[in-house]
Amino acid sequence: MLAIEQFGAGPWATLQLADLGAEVIKIEDPASGGDVGRYVPPYRDGEDSLYFETFNRGKRSVSLDLRAPAGRAVFEDLVRVSDAVYSNLRGDQPARLRLTFEDLRPLNPRIVCCSLSGFGNSGPRRAEPAYDYVLQALTGWMALTGEPDGPPVKSGLSMVDYSGGYVSALALVAGVWRARRDGVGCDCDTSLFETALSLLTYVGTWAASRGHVTERRAESAHPSIVPFQAFRTADGWITVAAAKQKFWLGVCAALAPELASDERFAGFDERSQHREALLAILRPRLRELTTEDAIARLSEHGVPCGAVNDVLGVLDDPQVAARDALVSYAHPRLGEVRQFASPLRMGTSYTPAPARGEGTEPLLRELCGYDDARLRTAREEGAFG
């Protein structure tokens, strides 16, 4: 598949496909120095960075100027032998750059053209640029995050980008499967905006169906289930998730046996109605315990809980080692690169991200049958910048 992508959302989508064994060919613009992710600090050496490595391991790179007629001709040769063309551009760009199924169908009737844009390929916002933080604001995510009396807060990670990447990767796989079944490709029009809207899930359903406004709760508390939040301990923080009645009874057994018979806290509705009274009892009990002791007590009674780690802390979790969830490989310029493994456990192997344009000539020889003369002509005509 061909990927006209940059930064996070698009490269994250095609990374999933590369980890599953797809040959992902990044089309990088020589005029701009390729994917801007190559230059994101810190931990950067020239056109290589750990940021770029995170999103582009296992891919190939072709340097191609799609604005030049010769570059477009090379791109069309690649389309003829590809299953899909993926892009994460503004919603008006696939049509302008002739990357839609209508444009590419004459070259390959089975081509799948997947677009992940900020707002989709139609509507009044389709030509607007979009970034994760802006979309977290627009779609209500930030209004749901943070302390009640504090400012709106974004997620610590670019979850709209990554979720949009997963959505578009799923759409592309489904499109390719259908094209192989029916012999006809399609467009996949996906957007970060609609991905973020869909991930409002039950909060969105409450708002759209009943006009409900979900309020922010202290300590990252769930809007309706109690206790389901972070608690301070004697030496840190833990999270407790009593999402079932049996877990609530486990909390009682571990921390406050008298609460099991208190009618104020008998069921989900009662605990929600008497939230502050319940938390006034649980908070001081947990403040008396160390994180280790609190987790031991709660875990003994089957209550889902965990320490609030920093990122360095999670590296030491024994589950990481047991599941081989951290992988390592050698990079020619960056040295050892350690990353979290793909959660798609299907025999994935890990190789470094490509240098910009390193696959241009080998891939064109291999896939399109270019010889020295054809490559020389394309180069002279500006196809490769």
Average confidence (pLDDT) over 360-366: 97
- At 185-233, the pLDDT tens digits run 999 999 999 999 999 999 999 999 999 999 999 999 999 999 999 999 9
Question: Domains in the chain: how many in total?
Answer: 2
51 and 186 co-located in one domain: yes
Cβ–Cβ under 8 Å, residues 229 and 306? no
Which position among 212, 222, 274, 301 bears the catalytic label? Answer: 222
Quick check: helix, strand or coil at residue 353?
A: coil
Last residue of a domain, one of 254, 289, 308: 308
235 and 297 co-located in one domain: yes
Q: Quickly state the pLDDT bin for 63 (edges 50, 70, 90).
A: very high
The predicted model scores a pTM of 0.93
- At 236-290, the pLDDT tens digits run 999 999 999 999 999 999 999 999 999 999 999 999 999 999 999 999 999 999 9
Q: Quickly state the pLDDT bin for 347 (edges 50, 70, 90).
A: confident
Among this protein's residues, is 212 annotated catalytic?
no
Indicate which CATH number applies to the domain containing 149.
3.40.50.10540
Q: Over 90: is that where the pLDDT of 345 sits? A: no
- At 78-113, the pLDDT tens digits run 999 999 999 999 999 999 999 999 999 999 999 999
Q: How many CB atoms lie within 10 A of CB 266?
A: 15
Residue 72 domain boundaries? 2-199+348-380
What is 282-336 written as a DSSP string? HHHHHHTS-HHHHHHHHHHTT--EEE---HHHHTT-HHHHHTT-EEEEEETTTEE
Cα 271-277-281 angle, rounded to 5 deg = 105
Indicate which CATH number applies to the domain containing 255.
3.30.1540.10
* pLDDT value of position 221: 96
137 and 255 co-located in one domain: no
d(CA 190, CA 121): 8
